Amino acid sequence: MNALLRKTLALGALAIATQVSAQVTFYENDNFQGRSFTTERQVNDFGRNGFNDRASSAVVVGQRWEICENIRFGGRCVVLRPGRYASLDMMSLNDRVSSTRPVARNARLDDTRYAPAPMAPQIIFYEDENFGGRSLTADQPLDDFGRSGFNDRASSVVVFGERWEICADSRFSGECMILQPGRYASLAAMGMNRRISSTRIVAWNARVDESRYAPAPAPAYDNRRRNDERLFEADVTSVHAVLGTPGQHCWTEREQVVQNQNQPNIGGAIAGALIGGVLGHQVGGGAGKDLATVGGAVAGAAVGSNVGRNNGQQVSTQDVQRCTNEPSQARPAYWDVTYNFRGQEHRVQLTSAPGRTITVNAQGEPRN
């Protein structure tokens, strides 16, 4: 093969590699789920590909891409740097993208045109439900929480960037589940409350059976500062505290149960119920009186039924579930906050009351 031919082939291969490296893939759902659409060249109208106003997440490879809400790059547009964007909602373009094109490598753009840069995968464990108490943050696999003093302590979790696997035993063994990016206010619903001993990132291209996923989380807004982006203070204009909704709290208790070989004393049970009902009715008033009456009758019947028994009894234990209805807590579940930045009104929900200002980036997005 002569030198000219080798050079020609090398240039051709370089051109192909360069073209392939400039690529963007859009997904129909958050967290890179659902149908997808991949392109290596500009698309003036997503409608021709059956993907208009359908994109919810995106993966950008090689170079920057501009995405726009209208066809032919009209309407609001933002530029995506190479990376994985688990939700386009953060840039107000969820289910709104209609056109896209690569940005020239040497093009200089104002910082305000960029979407928030994707962050490295991270998971934060909290000792209490609703993200309270001590916390443990990881951006690398942890094969034994005991080394961090956090074994079997996690009760709630926030996941950023990628899917994470959580396991009941060290070294990723025992019962394991996959968490998608988002906020898990309680691990009790998935049976993992205070049971986590190891965790690791799930490769973005790994195929996972649906049965391995935990219940879908609430969205998590990533308000961590991106690299060295410039920050500003925006004036808070209104704050509304929102109380949580009433709920039910259930637990399991071990209870002793008497198994009698003889028949219960029916007469004693009836007499005991009557006496217990009278005694109970003296307690409280209104609804409290009704509850006390029932409680007294039950207790009296239990006592009366044991009158006249002989000693032919066996005692065993069993699990009994008990539940109580809990009213909404006095402490707000979150604060609905409105703030003004550069003449534009923004809204955000916070887990704690804000001060007079909120820290934001150049696009008005909240930052820590």
Instruction: Reduce the DSSP state of residue 187 to 3 states and report it.
Output: coil
Model pLDDT, residue 158: 92
Query: Which residue bears the tokens 């049971």?
Result: 195
How far apart are alpha carbons 71 and 65 in whole angstroms? 15
Model pLDDT, residue 3: 53
CATH number assigned to the domain covering 17-113: 2.60.20.10
pTM to 2 decimal places: 0.54
| End-to-end Cα spacing for the chain | 60
Model pLDDT, residue 52: 95
Question: In tens digits, what is the pLDDT along the chain, a chain of 368 residues?
Answer: 555 545 444 444 444 444 446 899 999 988 788 899 999 999 999 999 999 999 999 999 989 999 999 999 999 999 999 988 888 887 889 999 999 999 999 999 988 899 877 767 899 999 999 888 999 999 999 999 999 999 999 999 999 888 999 999 999 999 999 999 889 999 998 999 999 999 999 987 788 998 999 998 887 777 777 767 789 999 999 998 877 655 555 555 556 666 555 554 444 433 333 333 333 333 333 333 333 323 333 333 333 434 444 455 566 666 666 666 655 555 676 788 899 998 888 888 787 788 899 999 887 888 87
Q: Are strands 344-350 and 332-341 parallel, antiparallel or unpaired?
A: antiparallel
| DSSP per-residue codes, 45-57 | -GGGGT-TTT--E
Model pLDDT, residue 296: 35
Model pLDDT, residue 241: 85
Beta bridge pairs of residue 317 = 256
How far apart are alpha carbons 343 and 67 in whole angstroms? 25
- Count the helices and strands in the chain (H runs, E runs): 3, 20
From the list 346, 127, 98, 100, the residue with the least C-alpha distance to 221 is 346
Q: Where are the domains of the chain?
A: 17-113, 122-212, 223-246+327-368, 250-324
Instruction: Reduce the DSSP state of residue 88 to 3 states and report it.
Output: helix
How far apart are alpha carbons 75 and 84 in whole angstroms? 23
Whether 122-212 and 17-113 are alike in CATH topology: the answer is yes
Model pLDDT, residue 366: 87
How far apart are alpha carbons 146 and 152 in whole angstroms? 8
Model pLDDT, residue 268: 41
The radius of gyration of the chain from alpha carbons, rounded to an integer in Å, stands at: 30
Domain spanning 122-212: which CATH class is it, in words? mainly beta
How far apart are alpha carbons 65 and 43 in whole angstroms? 11
Instruction: Reduce the DSSP state of residue 239 to 3 states and report it.
Output: strand
How far apart are alpha carbons 55 and 50 in whole angstroms? 11
Tokens at residue 247, please? 């709920």
Query: What torsion do the CA atoms of 293, 297, 303, 307 make, to the nearest 10 degrees?
Result: 140
